[in-house]
Amino acid sequence: MSTGAGQGSRPRWLLLHAAAVFAFLYLPIAVLILYSFNRQGVGGFPPRHLTLDWYRLLFADAAIWDSVFNSLQVAFAAMAISLALGIPAGLALDRAQFPGKSLFRRLVLLPLILPGIITGLSLLMMFNLSGTRLGLLTIVLGHGTALISVATTEVFAGLQKLDRAQEEASLDLGASYWQTFWRITLPNLKLPIIGAALLIFTLSMDEIAVSFFLIGRDNTLPLEIWGRLRRGITPEINAISSIIFFFSLIAIVLWYRLRIRAQGSAELGTELLDISEADA
């Protein structure tokens, strides 16, 4: 910018800055993975005596695997809820007018922008007053509700790209709304829906702020890790964290590919604005 370079040539400080930011974003994760192989413990430079012992310990750790199983159950159930409500919500925002629409849109998106503690506590108060016992079910309801926003934004963005003429033709040719939905609308939304499902699943597996307040006796994986962190840290936690990182990485790269195919671009941050301007 101030180096007098024209467009196309890269001012050197920008390049250095970008490299530094990437280092800042990735170095901690690299350190975490490296030390999961360190016999001496989580600190100590340089890392010495690389070992797989911590992974062996991890694979024999029944409490961790119980919590992984709990988290998987929660994530699948939350995904089902978020999609079952988020897809119609996207359709409603795109094509229906109803009183309170703008309030509804804001409420759906709120958990994505609001600190998790507020969503978690407000649900806790409701479950408490209604006498619902806390457990995996309450976490499912919390995640399912908070992540409707993900399905809604992805579906809404997909609908904006959808060619209405196809649906019109289907209806004109005598198909019912139900047939048109299953044969035209839904297949056209396939990629955004798969993308949303993947993202909801990953976010639910990782979620901790809402679950923190809705937990009963059974831990989810992040809460199991959290509990251990308070007692002291061992490279076993590095090992499970590295595995989580690896799986998140796969899910996110897949989601990204799907999104590029579905939307032509993966730009996030715009559809939040798109939805808020939809009824303007």
Q: Does 22 bind other proteins (CB under 8 A)?
A: yes
Q: Residues binding other proteins: what is the number (CB under 8 A)?
A: 104
For the CB of residue 88, give the shortest distance to other proteins in the complex, in Å.
4
Q: Which is nearer to other proteins, 167 or 218 (CB)?
A: 167
Among positions 199, 200, 210, 258, the unique one binding other proteins when judged by CB under 8 A: 199
Among positions 23, 43, 52, 261, the unique one binding other proteins when judged by CB under 8 A: 43
Contact range with other proteins by CB under 8 A, out of 50-58, 61-69, 70-78, 220-228: 220-228
Region 50-109 residues binding other proteins, contact defined as CB under 8 A: 84-86, 88-89, 91-92, 95-96, 98, 100, 104, 107-108
Q: Which is nearer to other proteins, 65 or 256 (CB)?
A: 256
Q: Does 24 bind other proteins (CB under 8 A)?
A: yes
Q: Which of 29, 23, 126, 146 is nearest to 81 (CA)?
A: 146
Q: Does 118 bind other proteins (CB under 8 A)?
A: yes
Phi/psi for 44 (5° steps) reads: 85, 105
For the CB of residue 60, give the shortest distance to other proteins in the complex, in Å.
21
Q: Which is nearer to other proteins, 267 or 279 (CB)?
A: 267
The CA dihedral of 49, 52, 54, 58, to the nearest 10 degrees, is 180
Q: Does 226 bind other proteins (CB under 8 A)?
A: yes
The CA-based angle 40-42-45, given to 5 degrees, is 70
Q: Which of 57, 54, 116, 70 is nearest to 221 (CA)?
A: 70
The CA dihedral of 153, 155, 157, 158, to the nearest 10 degrees, is 160
For the CB of residue 193, give the shortest distance to other proteins in the complex, in Å.
15
CA–CA dist 241, 210 (Å, integer): 20
For the CB of residue 170, give the shortest distance to other proteins in the complex, in Å.
11
Region 237-256 residues binding other proteins, contact defined as CB under 8 A: 237-238, 241, 244-245, 248-249, 251-253, 255-256
Among positions 14, 50, 52, 63, the unique one binding other proteins when judged by CB under 8 A: 14
CA–CA dist 56, 174 (Å, integer): 62
Q: Which is nearer to other proteins, 150 or 191 (CB)?
A: 150
Q: Which of 109, 116, 108 is nearest to 204 (CA)?
A: 116
